[in-house]
Structures are given as C-alpha cells and as structure tokens.
C-alpha cells in the first residue's frame, strides 16, 4: 500500500458508513439470503448430530442481519434445538445494532447470545487461555477474512473447533469477480500489508487444495451499482470508492495516476457492464463449506 494512503478499516465510523452504502447499492445481502434459503438447509441438515443443543460461532458478524437469517434456517432444520451463539465482532457500533435486532426479534428465545467485542485473533487467544474444550457445530465467517493477518491460520484454528458433523462456512468475493480483477491489478498499491484484505475464494480454495482439505463451493451471483463513483466530487461516489479500494478518502489522497487507473479499470468490461447509463460492477461471491478435520 502506498505510504501516503490510510486503510479504510482504521476509521470504523467511515468504514461502517461505506459498508452500509455498499449494501444499499448492491445485491450483496439478497444473494446471501438466496443462498441461505436455497442451499444452507442442506448444509445444516447433519449439524448437531441429533443433539438437542448446538454451538454456533459467528466471526465478523457485523450487525447480525445475516446471522439471524442463518439461525432461523438452523431452527427450521432442527426444531426444538437450543443454541449457544458466540458473536465475535470488534466494532462496538455493529454489536450495538446486532443487540437491537435481537431485542426486537421474538423468535430467539431458544438462543443464548455471548457477545465478544474482539477480533478473530483475540477470540482465538481468549479461547486458548481459557483452555475451552467446547466444540462448535456451525461456524461462519461472512465477508470478514479480509481483515485478519493470516486467513489460512484463521481457517485452521476455527476448523479445529468443529465437532463431528460440524460445518465451517466462509463467504468471500469470488476470484472471478470485479474485486478479483481489481486486486490482481492493484494489490500492491491498495492493500495494507498488516492484514490480508485482497483475499478471494480463489486464494482460499488454492490453500485448501494444497493441504488436501475437501470442501463444497457455491456461486452467489451479485452486482453493485458504482455509477456515482464516476461523478467527480460526489459524496456517495467517494464513499463507495473508499469501500472498493479499502482506502480512507481514496479520491482525495490517492496519487492522480493511481486514481485514474483504478477508475478506468472499474468501468472496464473485466470488472463491470454498462447499460442505461449505469455502471454495474461484478460483485459475485462464493461460499465455501468445510467439514471437521
Ligand atoms: C464486510 S463486514 C461483514 C459483516 C457481516 N458478516 C455481513 O456480511 O453483513 C466485515 C465485518 O468484520 C468485522 N471485522 C473487522 N476486522 C475483524 C477481525 N479482525 N476479526 C473479526 N471481525 C472483524 C467488521 O467490524 C465488520 O463488521
């Protein structure tokens, strides 16, 4: 990452604002809901092994909308089962929103929430310090592996927590998406070396293949309207550009050649399609499901 650029996640307020706008401009959560409705029931059918109580861990849960949808699918597949749900999320703003959602939802009496305001690696430390022996039946990491230092080690640790028939679900952008093209071109200028950031499911599958770990994968087609990014000075366009580049105030702080190169690539057919005056970015995601070791 160029010395003059600051990582967007360093400013949680702006990060959360840009993520919210990204959700409004994309079919991100809709494609996850489709996956949860159509594919997840089958994935969850064997978890818990017939037990009447299951342990779930959500890592990087954000405000929990997607987590709550998954909990409802789990309940549908395993009615009567009670759930211990560990939430691992470092943003206090997001945790607060998650708690508000929970307090308004009447169908969660069977779930006990444990709130861990911490990163995935802090949770790992905490888990090891407490010498916890509890195993998990379902662990999910939805769009969060970008923010850890070592995604492979993070996957290995959480996979080691799975019980018999346990499942680890990872959702990230697909290597074939516009994100994949953007990162393969500008990884060195845009990505922070302290965290992985530019990781795609392509990288994760490569790692799993090299270790001989089997997995199932599912394509989640998704789009994002990035038209506003091309109007100089547009506040929302600038916020979206921050999210796309993961750079704080990208428009104002990036060297002109980098900004021009990124904007050109974003509307290039490798990343986007243009129709009716709209620039639609390929936001395809992929879900990877891993079993117990
Ligand atoms: C792109 S959001 C995804 C939120 C949610 N899973 C969703 O899909 O709507 C990424 C989340 O990961 C959290 N996060 C950032 N760094 C993290 C870390 N090191 N460990 C765990 N979560 C992290 C952020 O606070 C944010 O809520």
Distance CA 33, CA 44 (A): 15
Task: Supply the pLDDT for residue 194.
Answer: 76
Identify which of 8, 9, 62 to mutate to test ligand 1's pocket (most ligand atoms within 8 A of the CB). Answer: 62
In a domain, 227, yes or no: yes
Range of weakest confidence among 27-36, 124-133, 191-200, 225-234: 191-200
Phi, psi dihedral angles at 221 (to 5 degrees):
-65, 135
What CATH number has the domain bearing residue 63?
Answer: 3.40.50.150
User: In what side-by-side order are the strands of the sheet with 223-225?
Assistant: 223-225, 278-282, 272-275
CA–centroid distance, 145 to ligand 1, in Å, is 8
DSSP of 153-195: HHHHHHHHTEEEEEEEEEEEE-TTSHHHHHHHHHHHHH--SSS
Atom of ligand 1 minimally distant from the CA of 9: 15
Mean pLDDT of the chain: 95
In a domain, 74, yes or no: yes
In a domain, 189, yes or no: yes
Tally of structural domains, the chain: 1
Q: What's the pLDDT tens digit per position in 3-36?
A: 678 999 889 999 999 999 999 999 999 999 999 9
Q: What is the mean pLDDT of residues 228-238?
A: 97
In a domain, 3, yes or no: no
Task: Supply the pLDDT for residue 111.
Answer: 98
40 has a pLDDT exceeding 80: yes
Distance CA 203, CA 198 (A): 9
Distance CA 258, CA 235 (A): 19
Q: What is the DSSP letter of 50?
A: T
Q: What is the mean pLDDT of residues 156-160?
A: 97
Q: Does the Cβ of 66 fall within 6 Å of ligand 1?
A: yes
In a domain, 2, yes or no: no
In a domain, 242, yes or no: yes
**pLDDT above 70: percentage of residues in the chain:** 98
CA–centroid distance, 40 to ligand 1, in Å, is 20
Q: Which domain holds residue 30?
A: 8-44+52-291
Task: Supply the pLDDT for residue 2.
Answer: 61
In a domain, 1, yes or no: no
Q: What's the pLDDT tens digit per position in 51-61?
A: 999 999 999 99
Query: What pTM, to 2 d.p., does this model score?
Result: 0.95
Which residues face 82 on adjacent strands?
53
Q: Does the Cβ of 154 fall within 6 Å of ligand 1?
A: no
Higher pLDDT, 68 or 195: 68
Indicate the pLDDT class of residue 185, thresholds 50, 70 and 90: very high
Region for 94 from its dihedrals, namely left if φ exceeds 0, alpha if ψ lies in -120 to 50, beta otherwise: alpha
260 has a pLDDT exceeding 80: yes
Indicate the pLDDT class of residue 293, thresholds 50, 70 and 90: confident
CA–centroid distance, 275 to ligand 1, in Å, is 32
**Is 28 flagged in the annotation as binding?**
yes
Task: Supply the pLDDT for residue 72.
Answer: 96
């Amino acid at each position: 990452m160029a010395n003059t650029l600051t990582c967007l996640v360093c400013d949680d307020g702006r990060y959360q604002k840009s993520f919210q706008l990204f959700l409004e401009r994309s079919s991100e959560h809709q494609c996850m809901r489709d996956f949860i409705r159509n594919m997840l029931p089958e994935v969850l059918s064997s978890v818990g092994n017939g037990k009447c109580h299951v342990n779930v861990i959500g890592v990087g849960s954000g405000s929990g909308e997607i987590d709550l949808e998954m909990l409802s699918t789990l309940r549908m597949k395993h009615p009567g089962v009670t759930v211990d749900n560990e939430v691992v999320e470092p943003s206090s703003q997001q945790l607060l929103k998650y708690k508000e959602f929970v307090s308004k939802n009447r169908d969660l009496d069977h779930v006990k929430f444990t709130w861990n305001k911490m990163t995935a690696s802090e949770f790992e430390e905490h888990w090891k310090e407490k010498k916890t022996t509890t195993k998990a039946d379902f662990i999910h990491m939805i769009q969060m592996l970008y923010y850890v230092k070592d995604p492979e080690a993070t996957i290995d640790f959480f996979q080691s927590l799975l019980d018999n028939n346990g499942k680890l679900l990872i959702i990230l952008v697909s290597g074939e998406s516009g994100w994949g093209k953007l990162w393969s071109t500008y990884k060195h200028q845009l990505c922070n070396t302290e965290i992985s950031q530019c990781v795609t499911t392509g990288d994760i599958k490569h790692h799993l293949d090299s270790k001989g770990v089997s997995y199932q994968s599912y394509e989640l087609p998704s789009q994002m309207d990035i038209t506003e990014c091309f109007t100089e000075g547009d506040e929302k366009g600038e916020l979206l550009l921050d999210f796309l580049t993961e750079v704080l105030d990208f428009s104002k702080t990036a060297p002109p050649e980098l900004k021009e190169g990124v904007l050109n690539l974003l509307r290039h057919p490798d990343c986007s399609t243009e129709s009716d005056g709209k620039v639609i970015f390929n936001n395809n995601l992929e879900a990877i499901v891993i079993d117990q070791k």
